Amino acid sequence: MKEEITTSLISLYDVENNAVRSIAALLRKNGYRVFEIYFKNWVNNRLVWPKKRELDNLINLLRNTNTDLVGISLRASAYLKVTISITEYIKRFLKIPIVWGGLHPTLVPEECIEFADIVCLGEGEYPMLELADSISQQKDIDNTPNLWIRKGKEIKRNEIRPLIQNLDELPFLDYTSEDKYYIENRRVFIGDPVIKRPLFRIMASRGCLFDCSYCYNSILKKIYHSKGRYFRYRSVKNVIEELSRIKRIFKNLKYIRFDDEMFIFNNEWIKEFCQEYKKRIDLPFECFLSPENYKEELLPRLKQAGLKVVYMGIEGPNRINKTLYNRKFSVKDILNDIRIFHKLGLDARYQIILDDPLSTEEDKRTFFEFLMDLPRPFELYLFSLTIFPRTKLAETLLAQGLISESDIEGKAMKTFSQLRVDLSFPRAKSDQFWISLIVLISKNFVSKSLIDRLSRSKFLYKHPRPLVIFSQICNLLKMVWVVFKMFLKGEMTWIQFKQWANPRSLITQ
């Protein structure tokens, strides 16, 4: 084992963090000592700023592990300010080079290099390995691809390397190493914070075939232009081998979630996957689907293999989807998919984006009526529109004068107040009215005839407060029932409960 350099990788507010886990696994495979530090966890719609005791515990951990190189994963732009604060605190006590990596440093490296010693753009596995090799062997790091390096007032900006085309070459994520810590409140927990969970989340691919304007993929495709295929997926054999390993490691494992942007890659992959998954894994699983990116006959195969839950992005009104979000799917496509999900008895969960600045009252009424026509039962996941830096959506709204730079994540921190829609958040009365109605649509114990009558009330449109309260009560009842069922199934962990049971901001479900 190479003892010359010890690396600590810090994940902020994310105990899953595939990027940190993948980089750590590759470094360990090449003989390096790596510590994974999971610093606090995400609480829905609320950023719990680090306490001094937590920061002191982080410093003590870095000092006690004799860390030579620190990597901080800045996975979302909203974490910028807290990352700056943590970086400054580390520098106050320790003279250790600090690397920032993740989505935000990839999108705006010139902003991040003002605070970090090194910024890693794009896929971080091989840049971090090359950086560790160079430091260990006392070689110059200045020409390392993907890295921006600050030396005094000078900044060395290196080109980004090609994308990893063969994902099978990467080692599996590591959950068994002892060099893992979780810092929360006054305590430092030793061991992996997710290994006792009933859910394992896996990604069988990287990238996306679509070009939705609000998504970070719209800018990453530009950054990686001519750097290899953007959408790549692992072999079935590789995925099944990892899941077989996880079944041995996760003693409480009950189901699998595929977190890929789009799960169905091609017909032959799915046919092989269904056969091998049923034979070797045989656990319920969930996945994300997009309209028209699969053939209808594949869904029964997937259900037979264990598919229980499907997520699909409906996003917004048809006009907004096409003109603002660059989503090419039609209402007909979406309705056809929904009909199939309902016919097969799949647990359908539809994702909605609200609070866009262009929807008219007609758009909102049309969208509400579309959702009312969906066959129950289903779940609605309501998200508030979040604008990431340099995406096509950000460029469009800036050009039209509908937002300012302060509305873009990084300068804004909307993720920590309204990622999932919260009915107590201040909005125009008309938006309170429509969102409250949408919240009711997925509540099976509220009749659609009642919702329809409420939607035609001129009084409630002008004075929506009673409707908001009614929707909040219904939402609370639904959430209590969901949590209760998860407890009965052994699927509700204490970490999840803390995320969901946030009295300051109860999410809609």
Radius of gyration of the chain (CA): 23
Tell me what the mean pLDDT of segment 325-340 comes to.
87
In contact, 423 and 471? CB cutoff 8 Å: yes
**Spatial CB neighbours of 377, under 8 Å, sequence gap ≥ 6:** 348, 442, 444
497: confidence class by pLDDT, cuts 50, 70, 90: low
| The two structure tokens encoding residue 195 | 């290994």
Angle subtended by helix axes 465-489 and 429-441, to nearest 10:
30
Tell me what the mean pLDDT of segment 112-133 comes to.
97
Q: Is 214 exposed, middle or buried (0-12, 13-18, 19+ CB in 10 A)?
A: buried
**Spatial CB neighbours of 109, under 8 Å, sequence gap ≥ 6:** 119, 121, 148, 157
Count of C-beta atoms within a 10 Å radius of residue 291:
20
In contact, 409 and 77? CB cutoff 8 Å: yes
Least confident of 34-48, 98-112, 127-141: 34-48
Q: Is 247 exposed, middle or buried (0-12, 13-18, 19+ CB in 10 A)?
A: middle
| The two structure tokens encoding residue 497 | 């409960």
Least confident of 115-129, 132-146, 327-341: 327-341
CA end-to-end span of the chain: 49
Sheet arrangement for strand 379-384: 199-202, 255-258, 285-289, 307-315, 347-354, 379-384
pLDDT tens-digit readout, 357-394: 999 999 999 999 999 999 999 999 999 999 999 999 99
What's the mean per-residue pLDDT of the chain?
Answer: 92
Query: What distance in Å separates the CA atoms of residue 130 and residue 495, rounded to the nearest whole number?
Result: 35
| The two structure tokens encoding residue 467 | 């409707």
55: left (phi over 0), alpha (psi -120 to 50) or beta: alpha
pLDDT tens-digit readout, 264-295: 778 899 999 999 999 999 999 999 998 766 67
Tell me what the mean pLDDT of segment 136-149 comes to.
95
Q: What is the DSSP letter of 490?
A: T
**Spatial CB neighbours of 114, under 8 Å, sequence gap ≥ 6:** none
- Quick check: 116 pLDDT over 80? yes
In contact, 105 and 74? CB cutoff 8 Å: yes
Q: Is 270 exposed, middle or buried (0-12, 13-18, 19+ CB in 10 A)?
A: buried
Q: How far is CA 243 from the centre of its chain?
A: 20
Percent of the chain with pLDDT over 90: 78
pLDDT, position 11: 97
- Type and span of the H or E element at 34: strand 32-39
pLDDT tens-digit readout, 416-450: 888 889 888 889 999 999 999 999 999 999 999 99
Structural domains in the chain, CATH included, are: 2-183 (3.40.50.280), 196-421 (3.20.20.70)
479: confidence class by pLDDT, cuts 50, 70, 90: confident
2: confidence class by pLDDT, cuts 50, 70, 90: very low
pLDDT, position 423: 86
- Quick check: 496 pLDDT over 80? no
C-alpha pair distances (Å), 15 with each of 39, 40, 180, 201, 344: 8, 8, 11, 12, 34
Residue 332, CB-side half-sphere exposure with 13 Å CA sphere: 0
Amino acid sitting at position 11: S
| The two structure tokens encoding residue 3 | 């003892």
